């Protein structure tokens, strides 16, 4: 589809930016694969630190979904909300109504919103924008360059830029209207950003636990060999704290907690906890040595992932694999590190090895398919997805009333359809999307399947306004305005334009390049391309004085040209087909 990804869900999910906690570990594999429950990380190696608050926002200009280019520079003097998103990302979809409502509320205060889509097909994005009622500009980051400039590791990611182009706020994961409004109010008034009660609780819990773990480790190291009791206490304290932190992050108010603070504070805790595991695992005669050393490697690997040191993170997870060859958390971490390094061949090997270890879980095979898709091995990806489909179908057949099993089945159908689209077989994708909607009606999966199906249909042509929308003509003299005709579909189109409703003795010609045709014109327009068209209007008789014209085009298949003269007052309709 014009060389663009239909979706980016083939990439590891944001939930891999997490913490492994002994005693309360949620499988990292589950977290990697929950891209329909959490945001997804971009498949790109570290670009450097994300732009921080109080630094200049990286400038950018991107093609708008509707017409022309949108640039951050053009908004100087206004507060701007920059939201990085993708249509397949559930948290992005969940926060969209809040973004739409907040944009409407703050537009009167001069706040500008822009959505930056991550490398998706324009037709799919257009369907999503229309379905969700998004009014603010949406631009297409087709090569990921802007995401790179902003070091967007996971979506949704949102920045607020002040009137001077300085970043004042940033957050990863879903935002609600209250949190976003609080940040906007502070930026608009020049006040410090508010810290929520949830953020204070998280920070205090993490800091207190870190101090306690570090204190217990120091006590243990004061004796030779290290005191096992103090190490047991350190590990118990760190594990309990991580459980509490997980619970805080699961609360509805968790989106008010800075993702960057979460990483920074939790990494300190887990660095101390990893040291406790290492020391306890090194004690003579320890019965938990292997498990302790595995836990230490997993924790250090996660800290390194958070710091975007993917090579070193991979080394830690490989150490965990050597110590515990059947630990799926080690596979998941190694997979994430390889994927972030764009070593897709290695990621595929890791995914296949884990699928052998846990062959009865559809998610194992969907991970294999994701890795194969990254390698453009679409046939192998479909084979893995068929295995996942067999497993999901069997589970659903046992209990057709299970909503989770129905959801999983619909998701597998959707994944297969996406693979077919990436492989270029749209005809094979469509019936799979129908199956997906039937399997999981009323769910996000059904919404995504419906949107993708609609995007595969030939999209309607669009006529957009340009900067030259009004013109004045002298008596018997022509005047001109401009429109942009856009082909949002994934295939080249023969475009025909015609004018109706002209008053007697008036002429409208469609002009581009050196071509100028009266009343109607036809031309080829490539997939996703636009053409600027001059609408040359000329009276063929005296108008009795100056006259005016104005074009009104809003991205539909028709546009209106209003002509006002002493001898004529008409609305000419421009049709695109």
pLDDT tens, 280-322? 999 998 999 999 999 999 999 999 999 999 999 999 999 999 9
Smallest CA-to-CA distance from 553 within 54, 66, 177 is with 66
> pTM here?
0.77
Angle at Cα 200 formed by Cα 196 and Cα 206, nearest 5°? 145
Which residues span the domain enclosing 487? 462-576
| Sign of the alpha-carbon torsion through 396, 401, 402, 404 | positive
Q: Please give the share of the chain, as a percent, with pLDDT higher than 90.
A: 77
User: Does 159 lie in the same domain as 118?
Assistant: yes
| Pick from 13-17, 76-80, 432-436: least confident | 13-17
Q: Which of 256, 286, 316 is the last residue of a domain?
A: 286
User: Does 143 lie in the same domain as 269?
Assistant: no
- The whole-number pLDDT of residue 48 equals 54
* Domain containing residue 557: CATH number: 2.60.40
Q: Give CA–CA dist 296/290, Å, rounded.
A: 10
User: Does 64 lie in the same domain as 137?
Assistant: yes
User: Does 263 lie in the same domain as 136?
Assistant: no
Q: Which of 189, 210, 245 is the last residue of a domain?
A: 189
Q: Give CA–CA dist 276/218, Å, rounded.
A: 10
User: Does 178 lie in the same domain as 58?
Assistant: yes
User: Does 248 lie in the same domain as 181?
Assistant: no
Distances in Å between the Cα of 489 and the Cα atoms of 85, 214, 456, 485 are 21, 59, 8, 12
User: Does 114 lie in the same domain as 47?
Assistant: yes
User: Does 160 lie in the same domain as 119?
Assistant: yes
User: Residue 451, Cβ neighbours under 10 Å: how many?
Assistant: 23
User: Does 164 lie in the same domain as 56?
Assistant: yes
Is 453 within a domain? no
Distances in Å between the Cα of 502 and the Cα atoms of 540, 547, 563 are 12, 15, 9
User: Does 238 lie in the same domain as 269?
Assistant: yes
What is the count of structural domains for the chain?
A: 3
Is 88 within a domain? yes
User: Does 232 lie in the same domain as 156?
Assistant: no
pLDDT in tens, 324-347: 999 999 999 999 999 999 999 999
Whether the pLDDT of residue 474 is over 80: the answer is yes
Asked if residue 29 has a cis previous peptide bond (ω within 30° of 0), the answer is no
Q: For residue 516, which phi and psi values (nearest 5 degrees)?
A: -145, 105
Q: Which of 166, 189, 212 is the last residue of a domain?
A: 189
Query: Are the C-beta atoms of 7 and 87 separated by less than 8 Å?
Result: yes
Is 33 within a domain? no
What is the widest separation between alpha-carbon atoms in the chain? Answer: 106
Query: Are the C-beta atoms of 497 and 536 separated by less than 8 Å?
Result: no
Is 15 within a domain? no
Q: Give CA–CA dist 386/420, Å, rounded.
A: 12
Is 257 within a domain? yes
Is 23 within a domain? no
User: Does 141 lie in the same domain as 53?
Assistant: yes
* Domain containing residue 151: CATH number: 3.40.30.10
Is 512 within a domain? yes
Distances in Å between the Cα of 243 and the Cα atoms of 221, 231, 258 are 26, 18, 18
Is 518 within a domain? yes
Q: Give CA–CA dist 228/276, Å, rounded.
A: 10
Query: Are the C-beta atoms of 63 and 140 separated by less than 8 Å?
Result: yes
Task: Give 67's pLDDT tier (boundaries 50, 70, 90).
Answer: low
pLDDT in tens, 259-268: 888 999 999 9
Q: For residue 303, which phi and psi values (nearest 5 degrees)?
A: -60, -45
């Amino acid at each position: 589809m014009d060389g663009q990804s239909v979706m980016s869900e083939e990439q590891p999910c944001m939930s891999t930016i997490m913490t492994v906690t002994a005693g309360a570990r949620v499988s990292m594999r589950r977290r990697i694969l929950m891209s329909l429950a959490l945001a997804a990380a971009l498949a790109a190696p570290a670009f450097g630190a994300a732009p921080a608050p109080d630094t200049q926002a990286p400038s950018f200009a991107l093609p708008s979904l509707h017409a022309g280019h949108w640039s951050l520079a053009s908004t100087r003097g206004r507060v701007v909300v920059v939201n990085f998103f993708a249509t397949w990302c559930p948290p992005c979809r969940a926060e969209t109504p809040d973004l739409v409502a907040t944009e409407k509320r703050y537009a009167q205060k001069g706040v500008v919103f822009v959505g930056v889509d991550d490398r998706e097909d324009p037709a799919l994005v257009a369907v999503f924008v229309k379905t969700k009622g998004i009014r603010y500009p949406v631009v297409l980051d087709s090569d990921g360059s802007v995401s790179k400039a902003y070091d967007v590791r996971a979506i949704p990611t949102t920045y607020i830029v002040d009137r001077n182009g300085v970043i004042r706020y940033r957050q990863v994961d879903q935002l609600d209207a209250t949190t976003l409004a609080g940040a906007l109010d502070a930026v608009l008034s020049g006040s410090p950003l508010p810290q929520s009660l949830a953020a204070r609780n998280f920070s205090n819990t993490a800091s207190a636990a870190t101090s306690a773990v570090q204190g217990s480790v120091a006590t243990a190291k004061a004796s030779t060999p290290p005191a096992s009791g103090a190490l047991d206490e350190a590990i118990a304290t760190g594990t309990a704290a991580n459980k509490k932190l997980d619970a805080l992050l699961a609360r509805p108010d968790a989106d008010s907690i800075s993702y960057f603070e979460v990483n920074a504070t939790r990494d300190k805790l887990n660095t101390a906890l990893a040291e406790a595991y290492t020391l306890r695992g090194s004690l003579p005669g320890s019965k938990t040595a292997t498990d302790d050393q595995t836990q230490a490697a997993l924790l250090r690997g996660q800290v390194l992932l958070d710091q975007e040191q993917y090579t070193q993170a991979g080394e830690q997870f490989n150490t965990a694999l050597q110590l515990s060859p059947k630990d799926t958390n080690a596979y998941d971490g190694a997979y994430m590190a390889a994927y972030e390094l764009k070593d897709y061949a290695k990621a595929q090997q890791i995914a296949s090895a884990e699928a052998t270890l846990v062959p009865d879980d559809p998610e194992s095979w969907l991970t294999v398919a994701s890795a194969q898709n990254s390698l453009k091995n679409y046939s192998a990806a479909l084979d893995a997805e068929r295995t996942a489909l067999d497993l999901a179908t069997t589970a659903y057949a046992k209990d057709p009333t299970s909503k989770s099993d129905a959801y999983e089945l619909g998701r597998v159908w959707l994944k297969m359809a996406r693979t077919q689209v990436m492989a270029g077989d749209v005809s094979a994708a469509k019936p799979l999307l129908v199956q997906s909607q039937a399997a999981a009606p009323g769910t996000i999966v059904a919404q995504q399947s419906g949107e993708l199906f609609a995007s595969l249909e030939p999209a309607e042509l669009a006529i957009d306004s340009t900067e030259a929308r009004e013109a004045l003509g002298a008596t018997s003299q022509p005047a001109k305005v401009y429109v942009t005709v856009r082909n949002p579909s994934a295939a080249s189109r023969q475009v025909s334009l015609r004018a109706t409703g002209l008053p007697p003795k008036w002429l409208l010609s469609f002009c581009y390049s050196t071509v100028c045709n009266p009343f109607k014109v036809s031309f080829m327009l490539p997939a996703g391309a636009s053409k600027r068209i001059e609408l040359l209007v000329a009276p063929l008789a005296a108008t009795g004085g100056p006259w005016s014209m104005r074009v009104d085009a809003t991205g539909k298949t028709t546009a209106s040209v209003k002509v006002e003269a002493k001898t004529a007052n008409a609305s000419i309709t421009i049709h695109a087909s």
